[in-house]
Structure 1
Amino acid sequence: MSYPSGPRRLPPDPSGCVGGPELIGDSPAIRRLREAIRQVADSRSTVLISGENGTGKELVARALHDLSVRRVGPFIAVNCAAIPETLIETELFGHERGAFTDAHAARKGQFELADGGTLFLDEIGDLSLRAQGNLLRVLEERAFTRVGGTDPVQVDVRLVGATHVDLDTAIRDGRFRNDLFYRLNVVPLVVPPLRERRDDIPRLLHHFLARHAGPGQPAAELAPDALGWLVRYDWPGNVREMENLVEQLLALADGPMICADDLPAKLRSRAHAHGLDQRVRTSRASLTDAVAAFERDLIADALERAGHVQTRAARLLGVTRRILKYKMDALGIPVLRPRARAQGRKAA
Structure 2
Amino acid sequence: MLGSLDRPRRVLIVEPVSDCERLIPELQANKWLVDHANLSSKIDPIYDVCVICLQAHHLDYLERIKQQIRDSQTEWIAVMSDSLRRNTGLANFIYEWFFDFHTLPFDLSRLHCTLGRASGMARLYRRITSPPTLTAGELLIGQSQSTQELRRLIDKISPTDASVLITGESGTGKELVARRLHNQSRRAAGPFVAINCGAISEQLIHSELFGHEKGAFTGASQRKIGRIESAEGGTLFLDEIGDLPLEMQANLLRFLQEMTYERVGSSKSMTANVRVLAATHIDLEAAICAGRFREDLYYRLNVLQIQTTPLRLRKEDIALFVEHFSRQYASEIGRRPRKFSDSAMNTLMSHDWPGNVRELANRVRRAQVLAEGRQIEAHDIGLAVTASMPCRPLDDYLLNAERQALEDALMHYSTNMSNAARSLGVSRPTFYRLLHKHQLR
TM-score by length of 1: 0.70
Distance 2:283 2:341 in 1: 38
Query: 2:297 aligned with 1:180, yes or no?
Result: yes
Query: 2:161 aligned with 1:41, yes or no?
Result: no
Q: What's the counterpart of residue 16 of structure 1?
A: 136
Distance 1:114 1:180 in 2: 20
Could you tell me how far 1:216 is from its partner in structure 2?
A: 6.1
Letter in 2 for 1:142: M
Between 252-261 and 147-156, the greater mean CA deviation after superposition: 252-261
Q: What's the counterpart of residue 63 of structure 1?
A: 180
Pick from 216, 220, 226: which aligns with 1:99?
216
Instruction: Give me the identity figure in percent.
Output: 48
Query: 2:369 aligned with 1:251, yes or no?
Result: yes
Distance 2:334 2:238 in 1: 38
Q: What's the counterpart of residue 116 of structure 1?
A: 233
Query: 2:237 aligned with 1:237, yes or no?
Result: no
Letter in 2 for 1:199: E
Distance 2:245 2:277 in 1: 18
Could you tell me how far 1:231 is from its partner in structure 2?
A: 0.7
Distance 2:234 2:170 in 1: 25
Pick from 200, 203, 226: which aligns with 2:344?
226
Secondary structure of the equivalent of 2:233? coil
Letter in 1 for 2:356: N
Q: 1:270 to 1:153 in 2, by over 3 A?
A: same
Could you tell me how far 1:155 is from its partner in structure 2?
A: 0.6
Distance 1:253 1:107 in 2: 47
Matches within 5 A, 1:144-183: 144-183=261-300
Letter in 2 for 1:52: E
Letter in 2 for 1:259: E
Pick from 12, 22, 26: which aligns with 2:143?
26
Instruction: Give the aligned CA root-mean-square deviation in angstroms.
Output: 2.1
Letter in 1 for 2:136: G
Query: 2:207 aligned with 1:87, yes or no?
Result: no
Q: What's the counterpart of residue 263 of structure 1?
A: 381
Q: What's the counterpart of residue 27 of structure 2?
A: none
Q: Which protein, 1 or 2, shows the higher relative CO under an 8 Å CA cutoff with sep ≥ 6?
A: 1
Secondary structure of the equivalent of 1:82? coil
Letter in 1 for 2:347: W
Distance 1:92 1:33 in 2: 29
Matches within 5 A, 1:305-316: none
Q: What's the counterpart of residue 131 of structure 1?
A: 248
| Structure 2 contact 364–381 (Cα < 8 Å) conserved | no
| Structure 1 contact 234–270 (Cα < 8 Å) conserved | no
Letter in 1 for 2:215: G
| Structure 1 contact 46–186 (Cα < 8 Å) conserved | yes
Pick from 180, 187, 200: which aligns with 2:317?
200
Letter in 2 for 1:234: D
Secondary structure of the equivalent of 1:78? strand
Letter in 2 for 1:237: G
Q: Deviations over 1:261-304 (max 9, x none)?
A: 33321244369x9xxx99xxxxxxxxxxxxxxxxxxxxxxxxxx
Could you tell me how far 1:260 is from its partner in structure 2?
A: 2.2
Q: Deviations over 1:195-218 (max 9, x none)?
A: 010111111112111221246633
Letter in 2 for 1:210: R
Letter in 1 for 2:388: S
Could you tell me how far 1:238 is from its partner in structure 2?
A: 0.8
Q: 1:129 to 1:247 in 2, by over 3 A?
A: same
| Structure 2 contact 196–240 (Cα < 8 Å) conserved | yes
Could you tell me how far 1:129 is from its partner in structure 2?
A: 0.6
Letter in 2 for 1:269: S
Distance 2:350 2:223 in 1: 54
| Structure 1 contact 17–24 (Cα < 8 Å) conserved | no
Query: 2:170 aligned with 1:50, yes or no?
Result: no
Where does structure 1 lack aligned partners over 5 or more consecutive residues? 1-13, 279-348
Secondary structure of the equivalent of 1:77? strand
Q: What's the counterpart of residue 210 of structure 1?
A: 327
Structure possessing the higher radius of gyration over alpha carbons: 2
Letter in 1 for 2:167: S
Q: What's the counterpart of residue 298 of structure 1?
A: none
Distance 1:55 1:177 in 2: 25
Could you tell me how far 1:15 is from its partner in structure 2?
A: 5.9
Distance 1:213 1:107 in 2: 40
Letter in 2 for 1:159: V
Distance 1:240 1:79 in 2: 17
Secondary structure of the equivalent of 1:95? coil
Distance 1:269 1:17 in 2: 38
Distance 1:133 1:91 in 2: 16
| Structure 1 contact 233–270 (Cα < 8 Å) conserved | no
Distance 1:81 1:216 in 2: 35
Secondary structure of the equivalent of 2:162? coil
Q: 1:88 to 1:15 in 2, by over 3 A?
A: farther
Could you tell me how far 1:192 is from its partner in structure 2?
A: 0.7
Letter in 2 for 1:110: R
Q: Deviations over 1:90-110 (max 9, x none)?
A: 110011222112223322211
Number of corresponding residues: 258
Where does structure 2 lack aligned partners over 5 or more consecutive residues? 1-133, 401-441
Secondary structure of the equivalent of 1:81? coil
